[in-house]
Each structure stands twice: as C-alpha cells, then as structure tokens.
Amino acid sequence: MPKVVISSKGESQSVELRSGLRMIMAGMQAGLDQYGFGDCGGNLVCATCHVRVKSGTFPAMKLDEQYLLETLPVIYPDSRLACQLIVTEDCDVEWVG
C-alpha cells in the first residue's frame, strides 16, 4: 500500500492508503477533518482540502479543480485539491487549509 506523508503546521504524519483511493482519505485517517479538512466531502465545493504536493505523481489537473483553486487567496505551482488526487504511489503533501 502506498505511504502518504501529510504535514500540517510543521507536524507530519504518515498513513498507508490502499492504492486507487483519493488523498482526502489520507487526510481523514490523519485526523485533519477535525480542523476543517475536506468539509464538502470531496464534492469540489469547499477547497478546504488544498494541499501542496511535495513528491508523488498525479494525473493532470482538470478544469473544475483549477477553477476552484483559483478562488483561493493564495495558490502555489504545486497546489492541488486532495479530493481530486488518486493515490497510487508513495507521496508527500502539505495541507495548506
């Protein structure tokens, strides 16, 4: 199973996720939902699952993800929405919030 390292506010956690599941599940396993991560349950409405991808390969961003990211006050070249990322290999992301 791929290992996902997910960091937030200077702390990192490592969770294992079955290949093919979405990154939002890693955030939930790490308990980030108690801080508002993934509020819309992956329906591309909230952008609270905004992460920076430090390592790992993911399919190209689709337009609906791009449009939602562009509503945020700050985005980065490596910004993605965790609910749109399908995990198939070890990866490392930072939750921006």
Please give the Cα distance from 78 to 51 (Å, whole number): 8
User: Does 81 help bind ligand FES (rule: CB under 6 A)?
Assistant: yes
Instruction: Write down the least CB distance from residue 3 to ligand FES, Å.
Output: 22
- By CB under 6 A, the count of residues binding ligand FES is 13
Choice from 21, 46, 72, 75 touching ligand FES (CB under 6 A) = 46
User: Does 42 help bind ligand FES (rule: CB under 6 A)?
Assistant: yes
Q: With CA atoms as reference, report the closest residue to 2 among 41, 69, 58, 49.
A: 58
Q: What stretches of 1-97 adopt beta strand conformation (E)? A: 3-8, 11-16, 50-55, 79-81, 91-95
Residues 1-30 that bind ligand FES (CB under 6 A): 24
Please give the Cα distance from 23 to 81 (Å, whole number): 9
Binding site for ligand FES (CB under 6 A): 24, 38-40, 42, 44-49, 81, 83
